[in-house]
Chains A and B, each alone.
Chain A
Amino acid sequence: MATRIKFQQNLDDLKERLLIMAGMAEQAIQRSIEAYRTRDLSICELVFQSEPVINRLEREIDQMALDLLAMEQPMAIDLRFILSVIRINADLERVGDQAVNIAVRIREMGAFANIELPVDIPKLASLSAAMVRKALQAFIEADAEMAQSVLKLDDQVDEMNDAAFYSLSTLIKERPELTPQSLNALIIARNLERVGDHATNIAEDVIFWVRGKDVRHNNPSRA
C-alpha cells in the first residue's frame, strides 16, 4: 500500500522543478558555446535573458525544499534527496552564471578582430557541457555509477584548462597586441572549467543521495 502520498507527490514535483532548472542552465551553456563559435551577439542576448528566469527558479526550488524539510521532517534517503536538490540547485544557478560570464566575454571579443587562438574552446566546452548532461542524467536515473564516471571527466577538463592557460599566456608574451583576445579566451576557458566543477559537485550530490556516501574532496589528483 502506498504511504505518504502527498509527500511523495511533493518530492516528484521538486525533482521535476529541478529538472526544468537544469534544462535552462544547460541550454544557457549550449547557447554561450554557440555564441562563441558564431560570434553571434543575438545568442548572447538570449543567455542574458535566461539568467533572471534561472534565478527565480533557484529561489522557488529552495522554498519548496525548505517547506518539505519543515512540514514533512524527511528521513534517510528522502532527507538526502532534499539536501542534494538544494546543493544541485545552487550549482545549476552557478552554471547559469558561468554562461552569462562567457557571453559577456564574447561580447567583449566582438570589439577585436576574430583571430585564430591556440586554444580549442569548443572542445573544452563540449566536454564541460557533457559533464553537466551526464551528471543530470545520473540524477534523473538515480545512478551513482554514472555519477562516478563524471568525476573522472573533471581531470580532463582541468588539463585542458591548464593547457589553455599555458598556450595563451605564451601568446600574450610573444604577441602582446593579441592580449585582449587572449585574455578573454583565457577567462572563457576558466569559466568552462568552473562549469566542469559544478558538474562534479552535482555528480557528488547524486552519489550522496543514492549511496549515502560523501565523496567530496576525495580526488587525490585535485588535492
Chain B
Amino acid sequence: MGVGINVEHLNAWYGTTHTLQDINLNIPANHATALIGPSGCGKSTFVRCLNRMHETNPIARASGVVKMGDIDIYKDASPVTIRRRVGMVFQRPNPFPTMSIYDNVASGLKLNGFRNKAILDETVERSLKASALWEEVKDDLKKKSGASLSGGQQQRMCIARALAVDPEVLLMDEPASALDPVSTSKIEDLIFQLKSQYTIVIVTHNMQQAARVAENTGFFLNGKMVEFDSTDRIFTNPKDKRTEDYITGRFG
C-alpha cells in the first residue's frame, strides 16, 4: 500500500541557486498528485528530493523535512533504503540495453540480493502484469532485449522495473512526454489502476494529462509552490491569478 508524504519547509539548492523555496505539502496516500509549472520552476527538483536523488549531484543540497508515513527520509533512512520504497520513472524510457526484458525488470531485485529464481519469476510476472505489458512480452521475456521494445512498451517495462522492488511511492517525471497518444493512454490507464496500491506523484507539462490522472495538483513557479488544490478546482477555478495565467496559457 502507498504511504502519505508530508513535506515541511523543504528547500533545495544547486550551488548557490535556491531552486526550491520553503515547500510545504501533504501528498495523500494512494492518490495521484500532479505537479505542473513552467520549465525550471522546481517541480523535477521537488520529486528528486522525495527519493533523495537530488543530493546525488555534488553541488546540490536540500534542507527540511520529508516524511513518508512515519519515516523522515533525510534522518531515519539511507538513500538506498529510500529508493527501494520510492520507485521512479523518467521522461525517456531508460532500459538497460544489453539486458533481456526479464533481467531489466528483475534488476532492482537482483541488486538488492535476491537470487531465488521462483521469487524472481513470480515478481517479474506480477510487475509486468501490473504495468499492463505481460500479455505483449510473456513469450519473449528472456529472448528479447529491453531496448527492442517500442517506446511505449519500454516505458511500461521501466514502470514494471520500478514496481518490482515493491515500493510504496511511485514518482513519474514526464512519463508520457516522449510517447504517442495510444501509449500515453496506456500509461494514464496504468496510473489510474496503480494508485490503489501506490502513492503516485507525476510531473507533467501536459495539463490535460494532469487533469485526467490526478486528484490533486500543485502549481510550481520560480521555486515556490504557488497553489495546491484538488485538480478540478485548479483547472476550473484556481485561487491564484498566477495559476490561472499559467493554465490558460497567458504566461510569457
Q: Which residues of A contact B (CB under 8 A)?
A: 1, 3-4, 7, 73-80, 212
Residues of B within 8 A of A75 (CB): 207, 235-236, 247-248
Residue B26, interface by CB 8 Å: no
User: Which of A73, A76, A78 sits near B208, CB closer than 8 Å?
Assistant: A73
Residues of A within 8 A of B237 (CB): 76, 80, 212
Minimum CB–CB distance from B212 to chain A (whole Å) comes to 11
Q: When the two chains form their complex, are residues A76 and B252 in contact, meaning their CB atoms are under 8 A apart?
A: no
Whole-angstrom CA separation of A76 from B250 in the bound complex: 12
Q: When the two chains form their complex, are residues B250 and A3 in contact, meaning their CB atoms are under 8 A apart?
A: yes
Minimum CB–CB distance from A24 to chain B (whole Å) comes to 30
Minimum CB–CB distance from A166 to chain B (whole Å) comes to 43
Find the residue from B208, B237, B247, B248 having the highest chain A CB count within 10 A: B248
Q: When the two chains form their complex, are residues A76 and B244 in contact, meaning their CB atoms are under 8 A apart?
A: yes
Whole-angstrom CA separation of A4 from B245 in the bound complex: 11
Whole-angstrom CA separation of A1 from B250 in the bound complex: 9
A211: nearest chain-B partner, CB-CB: B237
Total residue contacts A-B, CB cutoff 8 A: 34
Supposing A75-B207, A76-B244, A77-B244 touch, asked if A7 and B249 sit within 8 A by C-beta, the answer is yes
A72: nearest chain-B partner, CB-CB: B249
B250: nearest chain-A partner, CB-CB: A3
Q: How large is the interface on B (under 10, 10 to 19, 20 to 34, 35 or more residues)?
A: 10 to 19
The contact string, 1 if C-beta is below 8 Å from chain A, for chain B 220-252, is 000000000000000111100001100111111
Q: When the two chains form their complex, are residues B249 and A76 in contact, meaning their CB atoms are under 8 A apart?
A: no
B244: nearest chain-A partner, CB-CB: A76
Whole-angstrom CA separation of A73 from B236 in the bound complex: 12
Q: When the two chains form their complex, are residues A80 and B249 in contact, meaning their CB atoms are under 8 A apart?
A: no
Residues of B within 8 A of A1 (CB): 252
User: Which of B208, B236, B247, B251 sits near A3, CB closer than 8 Å?
Assistant: B251
Supposing A73-B208, A75-B207 touch, asked if A80 and B236 sit within 8 A by C-beta, the answer is yes
Minimum CB–CB distance from A12 to chain B (whole Å) comes to 14
Q: When the two chains form their complex, are residues A76 and B251 in contact, meaning their CB atoms are under 8 A apart?
A: no
Residues of A within 8 A of B251 (CB): 3
Residues of B within 8 A of A74 (CB): 248
Closest 3 interchain pairs by CB? Answer: A212-B237, A4-B249, A75-B247
Q: When the two chains form their complex, are residues B244 and A3 in contact, meaning their CB atoms are under 8 A apart?
A: no
List 20 additional contacts besides A74-B248, A80-B236, A212-B236; criterion CB under 8 Å: A1-B252, A3-B249, A4-B248, A4-B249, A4-B250, A73-B207, A75-B207, A75-B235, A75-B236, A75-B248, A76-B236, A76-B237, A76-B243, A76-B244, A76-B247, A77-B244, A78-B248, A79-B235, A79-B236, A80-B237
Whole-angstrom CA separation of A73 from B209 in the bound complex: 11
Can you identify 22 A-B contacts, CB atoms within 8 angstroms?
A3-B249, A3-B250, A3-B251, A3-B252, A4-B249, A7-B249, A74-B248, A75-B207, A75-B235, A75-B236, A75-B247, A76-B235, A76-B236, A76-B238, A76-B243, A76-B248, A77-B244, A78-B248, A79-B235, A80-B236, A80-B237, A212-B236
B249: nearest chain-A partner, CB-CB: A4
A81: nearest chain-B partner, CB-CB: B248
Residues of A within 8 A of B207 (CB): 73, 75
Minimum CB–CB distance from B241 to chain A (whole Å) comes to 10
B238: nearest chain-A partner, CB-CB: A76
Residues of B within 8 A of A4 (CB): 248-250
Whole-angstrom CA separation of A7 from B237 in the bound complex: 19
Task: Please report which residues of chain B, range 129-150, place their CB below 8 angstroms from some CB of chain A when the two chains form the complex.
Answer: none
Residues of B within 8 A of A7 (CB): 249
The contact string, 1 if C-beta is below 8 Å from chain A, for chain B 79-109, is 0000000000000000000000000000000
Minimum CB–CB distance from A87 to chain B (whole Å) comes to 15
Whole-angstrom CA separation of A37 from B248 in the bound complex: 49
Minimum CB–CB distance from A20 to chain B (whole Å) comes to 25
Whole-angstrom CA separation of A1 from B252 in the bound complex: 5
Minimum CB–CB distance from B163 to chain A (whole Å) comes to 31
The contact string, 1 if C-beta is below 8 Å from chain A, for chain B 49-71, is 00000000000000000000000
B247: nearest chain-A partner, CB-CB: A75
Minimum CB–CB distance from A135 to chain B (whole Å) comes to 21
Minimum CB–CB distance from A69 to chain B (whole Å) comes to 12
Whole-angstrom CA separation of A74 from B207 in the bound complex: 10
Whole-angstrom CA separation of A189 from B250 in the bound complex: 46
Residues of B within 8 A of A80 (CB): 236-237
Minimum CB–CB distance from B190 to chain A (whole Å) comes to 22
